[in-house]
Structure 1
Amino acid sequence: MTRTLSRFDGKIALVTGGTSGMGLATARRLLAEGAQVVITGRDQARLDAAVADLAGGDRVLAVRGDVGNLADLDALTEAIRERHGRLDLVFANAGIASFHPVEQVTEAEFDRVVDINFKGLFFTVQKTVPLLADHASVVINASWTLHRGMPGASLYAATKAAVHNLARTFAAELGHRGIRVNSVSPGYITTPMFHEVLQPHEHAAVAAKVVIGRLGTAEDVADVVAFLGSDEASYVNGQDLAIDGGLVATISGHSG
Structure 2
Amino acid sequence: MASQLNGKVALVTGGSSGIGLATAKRFAAEGAIVYITGRKQDALDKAVAEIGGKVVAIRADSSIVADLERVYATIRDKSGRLDVLFANAGIAAFVPLPAITEEHYDSIVDTNLKGVVFTVKYAVPLLSEGASIILTSSTAGYKGMEAFSVYSATKAAIRQLARGWLLDLKAKKIRVNVISPGMVDTPAIDGLVGDPNAAAGMKAHVASQIPLGRIAQPGDIAAVAVFLSSDEAAYINGVELPVDGGASQI
Q: Same fold (TM over 0.5)?
A: yes
One-letter amino acid of the counterpart of residue 226, structure 1? V
Matches within 5 A, 1:1-256: 5-56=2-53, 59-198=54-193, 199-250=199-250
Shift of 1:201: 2.5
Secondary structure of the structure 1 residue equivalent to 2:249: coil
**Contact persistence 1:41–1:63 (CA under 8 A):** yes
Give the conservation status (yes or no) of the 8 Å contact 2:9–2:82. yes
CA–CA distance in structure 1, aligned partners of residues 203 and 227 of structure 2: 28
What amino acid is the match of 1:12? V
Would the aligned equivalents of 1:87 and 1:136 in 2 still touch at CA under 8 Å?
yes
Once residues 130 and 151 of structure 1 are traced to their aligned partners in structure 2, the CA distance between those partners, rounded to angstroms, is 40
Structure 2 residue ranges without an equivalent (≥5)? 194-198
Say how many residue pairs are matched. 245
Contact 2:64–2:115 under 8 Å retained in 1: yes
In 2, are the aligned partners of 1:147 and 1:248 still within 8 Å (CA)?
Answer: no
Contact kept, 8 Å, 1:12 with 1:88, in 2: the verdict is yes
- Quick one: distance in 2 between partners of 1:221 and 1:30? 12
- Partner of 1:167, secondary structure, is helix
User: What residue number does 1:253 align with?
Assistant: none
| TM norm structure 2 | 0.96
Structure 1 unaligned runs (5+)?
Answer: 251-256
Counterpart secondary structure, 1:140: strand
RMSD between aligned residues: 0.9
Identity of counterpart residues, as a percentage? 47
Instruction: Please state how far the C-alpha of 1:197 moved relative to its aligned partner.
Output: 2.5
- SS in structure 1 opposite 2:103? helix
Maintained 8 Å contact 1:67/1:124: yes
Query: Equivalents in 2 of 1:120, 1:234: separation in Å?
Result: 26
SS of the aligned residue for 2:122 comes to: helix
- CA–CA separation in structure 2 for the residues paired with 1:162 and 1:64: 26
What secondary structure, in the 3-state scheme, does the structure 2 residue paired with 1:190 have?
coil
- Residue by residue over 1:169-194, the C-alpha shift from the partner in whole angstroms, topping out at 9 and shown as x without a partner, is 11111012110001100001101111
